[in-house]
Amino acid sequence: MSNVVRLHDNSAHHTIEVEEVPSEFPVPDSGCYYGIAGRFAQEACAQSEADPVGVLMHLLTWAGAYFGNRAVLRLGDVEAPPRLFCVTASSAGGGKGTAAAPVRKLMRDYVDVQLRRMGLSPALYRDGPMSSGEGLAWAVRDPADTEDEDGNPTDKGIPDKRLMILEEEFAAVLQAARREGNTVSAAIRRFWDTGNFSPLTKNNRVTVTDAHVCFVAHITYEELVKRLEQSEYATALASRILWVCVRRPKIVAIPESIPVGRMLNYADEIAKAIQFSSETNELSLTSEALTVWSTLAISLAKANTPMSERSRMQVLRIACIFALLDCTAQVEAHHLRAAAHLWDYCLGSVAYIFEGEQNEDANKILAALRKHGGLTTTQIRINVFQQNIKSATMNTLLKSLETQGRIRRSTRHRNDGRSGKPATVFELVKH
């Protein structure tokens, strides 16, 4: 049974039980909770069972969807729009929906109303499911290239291509991605990259250009490890997503929402930021931020794991959202630092979710190399895993062990006199 700490609030007759978490569970740096997003996340969780980092990531992604892709940070030929894809993971009943609830309420019931009063349009919103690339494309489609008898497009398309999706069954998305001919993975990747997508279909062909799609999805740890490992597009898809562990940090007998007056204040501040973004063409780094980025970018680039392939772009995108929420076109050093703290939490989440299983397999490899002195990839696959491991999974394990400096690879020429490609041999690194 988990140990708990009971906190009594006599004025409200509340009892709160703070739940114990595993020692390896990621812990967000306080620097994550920057600005209005951080303030809202912490206030929304003061008297609820929501996880502040879960609320924070829902709000940053949702705000980014409303900002659109007009205000973009440019560094050379690199463009970083305020566009995020986030997946929150937890145990069953671990608080994914609880983290979404206050943000949905803020944006749908308060910010949307305030924007309409200001003469601005909210972004499109969908609950999902993201079951196919064609379905995603249809939600943000261009006008049809066919005309009616009056010379107008037979389908006017979607003029405002800002779209926020809350997908509560991401396991179904990963399952759909495995089906032959399904284009949901390709669509997600292209919408993250450029916002352009044109699925090749025989009928009702749809083209999308310059769309701005953001989503937050929910999944359990068990389903994530199972489905993502099986997905053919695991690496390409995974590196475009911010993986975030959430949990129920405490049990609250009588949860309370943020008071209406406070919600109105938050909505007004966010609506003004959305208006600012609609009037801003380009973001830039301040001189101090450039100094910070010159060091941070090199550090991020040295990370050698599949899911950190796009780490620099992810950090810049988060920093853009922090800046726009501050109603400034100048991305400052503190925006970058807050974004980097959040990225660190995402890396910690990946380690917590995936490395437990990977460590077991990695230890099997190390034990076999310790016993036999050196093994080829074929020998590892057969002798260590009895061929019950996918090549991509095993290669990721081997690369990870190499990066950690625990094994090294070399080539061994055939000794049977026959021609052929040299074998790759792995050995332990002795310290």
3-state secondary structure 118-149: CCCCCCEEECCCCCCHHHHHHHCCCCCCCECC
Question: Quick one: pLDDT at residue 217?
Answer: 96
b vs e for 344-378, b when ≥16 Cβ sit within 10 Å of the residue's Cβ?
Answer: bbbbbbbbbbbeeebeebbebbbebbeeeebbbbe
Strand spans (E) along 184-343: 212-220, 242-245, 250-252, 282-285, 330-331
113-150 pLDDT, tens digit per residue, is: 999 999 999 999 999 789 899 999 999 999 988 777 77
358 pLDDT more than 80: no
Question: Quick one: pLDDT at residue 188?
Answer: 95
The mean pLDDT value of the chain amounts to 87
Question: Quick one: pLDDT at residue 208?
Answer: 95
16 pLDDT more than 70: no
Note whether 327 and 280 are within 8 A (CB).
Answer: no
Strand partners, 163: 124, 213
Helix/strand/coil percent split, the chain, to 5: 45, 15, 35
List the structure tokens of 204: 């009702």
Residue identified by tokens 């630092």 is 337
Average pLDDT for residues 303-323, to the nearest whole number?
89
Look at residues 367, 334, 359, 380 and name the one whose alpha carbon lies nearest to residue 33.
334
Note whether 212 and 83 are within 8 A (CB).
Answer: yes
Over the Cα atoms of the chain, what is R_g? 24
10 pLDDT more than 50: no
List the structure tokens of 5: 């700490």
| pTM of the full structure | 0.81
Residues 6+ positions from 401 with CB-CB distance below 8 Å: 362, 365, 366, 407
Note whether 390 and 332 are within 8 A (CB).
Answer: no
Note whether 69 and 210 are within 8 A (CB).
Answer: yes
Return d(Cα 22, Cα 20) in angstroms, integer. Answer: 7
Look at residues 328, 336, 334 and name the one whose alpha carbon lies nearest to residue 283.
328
Look at residues 409, 402, 406 and name the one whose alpha carbon lies nearest to residue 374.
409
Return d(Cα 260, Cα 238) in angstroms, integer. Answer: 38
> Phi/psi at 204 (nearest 5 deg)?
50, 50
Average pLDDT for residues 44-63, to the nearest whole number?
96
Q: Is residue 202 very low, low, confident or very high in pLDDT (cuts 50, 70, 90)?
A: low
41 pLDDT more than 90: yes
